[in-house]
Structure 1
Amino acid sequence: MSVTTQWIEIDSADGKFGAYLAIPHTQKGPGIVLIQEIFGVNEHIRSVAEQYAADGYLVVVPDLFWRSGARIELTYDEAGWKRAVELMNATDITKAQDDIKLAIAALKDQPGLDGGVASIGYCFGGLLSYLTAANGLVDVAITYYGGGIQDQLDRADEITVPLLMHFGEEDSHIPLEAVEKIAERFENNDFVEIVIYPQAEHGFNCSHRDSYNQRAAAEAHGNTLIFLGQEL
């Protein structure tokens, strides 16, 4: 049996919202809450969820833009970028964290969950993965080019679980000065590991974007699987 996928519904104080669920062929494994970019739970993010399911994890991807519209999917062209920024700016970060907490609870209700739960977030989701770790909701956290983490370092002392952060050396959205600021703040925190990928732009993991960097994406995925294997 291959990876199986479905949309599930999760109850919240504001109503029901959807989450994409991917289950490995073994029907069991540790859990991952996968946190979207600003482009919604689109084809790329669903494919990432399916990849981690193929790697043996139960994966849930909450639809964080549902208050603006259910299952919004955007592409990476100019119009997609414009709408994505509008949606991100309209998103209440506190409510998004509440949704992630509910998605983790839904994941823990899955009969096949066998082990801990990690968060993995991309771009906007990278920041949310960092905050999910600070909120004590997961056993391990991973961020890919998490924008704005440098502005949330007041939460740094609350990071008490293993945290792996991936950044691109040539990220036009997250300058190296920001990464250095993050690294300096976590210098004495043995839980935190930061990897910078040479010649990699923002979004280097996304094969649907012009900034896709195959080598950096492959290395980051390998580093992520090793980290999860060691820490989860």
Structure 2
Amino acid sequence: MGETITLTASDGHTLSAWQDGPQDASRALVVVQEIFGVNRHIRNVCARFAAQGYRVIAPALFDRVQRGVELGYTADDVATGRALRAKVPEAGPVLDIEAAAAALPAGAKRGIVGYCWGGTVAWWGATRTRSFAASSCWYGGGIAATRTETPTCPVQMHFAEKDASIPLSDVELIRAAQPGVEIFVYAGAQHGFGCDERASFSRADAELAQERTLAFFAKHLG
């Protein structure tokens, strides 16, 4: 069973986080939230990775603005999530994922996986830190804007063909800038296809993306 813990970032900020999985795991992950907080969906994501033997921690990135945020997926929730994200200091998410990485089991090989906003943060985990041995980024809308940053670990990305917020032209820009990154595009899928609480959920695409993510981490985390 998972539980809430408290982390302290290098700038002294304290934040909550959800942890799950075996404490003696040899492989560990930081799971990065969407713009909806560490909600039921993110806890379920953590549980799925924990069931595969990973120790996982999902830091509450919104704690720098408002604590205890758990949103749903209505239009109002989207607006609230976007407003909160806009208030998070630029350096905050990176400091918070580093704090989460440091709290994972000593000696475990560490990866990072993120969704939506978290997909972008997972990219930054690969480019702005040296905390991770692999990064899997699901439909990160901010990746294109920072596509020229240099990753320090293997990176895999998942995008939706019909994503209204991430045009395929952005995906092609990322491909051109990062030829070493493994990029998958899911035909007919929409933004958020991996979340079973969204109307855009696509079970087949979510399962395939998860299979690819697990294989990627098995390869690079041992």
Which TM-score applies when normalising by structure 2? 0.94
Give 2:158's aligned residue: 166
Give 1:145's aligned residue: 139
Report the AA paired with residue 185 of structure 2. Answer: I
Please list, as runs of the form range in 1=range in 2, the aligned pairs for 1:73-152 lying within 5 A after superposition.
Answer: 73-109=70-106, 115-135=108-128, 136-152=130-146
Larger mean Cα displacement after TM superposition, 7-16 or 169-178: 7-16
Give 1:194's aligned residue: 183
Q: What secondary structure, in the 3-state scheme, does the structure 1 residue paired with 2:61 have?
A: coil
Please list, as runs of the form range in 1=range in 2, the aligned pairs for 1:24-39 lying within 5 A after superposition.
Answer: 24=22, 27-39=24-36
Q: What secondary structure, in the 3-state scheme, does the structure 2 residue paired with 1:66 have?
A: helix
Give 2:200's aligned residue: 211
Instruction: Measure how far apart 1:54 and its partner are.
Output: 0.4
Q: Structure 2: any 5+ residue segments left out of the alignment?
A: none
Give 1:178's aligned residue: 170
Report the AA paired with residue 194 of structure 2. Answer: N
Instruction: Measure how far apart 1:82 and its partner are.
Output: 1.1
Give 1:54's aligned residue: 51
What percent of counterpart residues are identical?
A: 34
Instruction: Measure how far apart 1:93 and its partner are.
Output: 2.4
Q: Is the 8 A contact 2:160 2:185 kept in 1?
A: yes
Question: RMSD value over aligned CA atoms?
Answer: 1.3
Give 1:225's aligned residue: 214
Q: 1:117 to 1:182 in 2, by over 3 A?
A: same
Report the AA paired with residue 25 of structure 2. Answer: K
Which TM-score applies when normalising by structure 1? 0.91
Report the AA paired with residue 193 of structure 1. Answer: E
Instruction: Measure how far apart 1:224 and its partner are.
Output: 0.6
**1:66 partnered with 2:60:** no
Larger mean Cα displacement after TM superposition, 203-212 or 13-22: 13-22
How far apart in 2 are the matches of 1:163 and 1:15? 28
Larger mean Cα displacement after TM superposition, 203-212 or 88-97: 88-97
Q: What secondary structure, in the 3-state scheme, does the structure 2 residue paired with 1:117 have?
A: strand
Instruction: Measure how far apart 1:14 and its partner are.
Output: 4.2
Give the count of matched residue pairs.
Answer: 219
Report the AA paired with residue 88 of structure 2. Answer: T
C-alpha distance after superposition, 1:13-69 (max 9, x if no partner): 343211100014x85230100000000000001100110000110000000000222
C-alpha distance after superposition, 1:132-185 (max 9, x if no partner): 101222000000001111110231xx2131100000111111000000110111
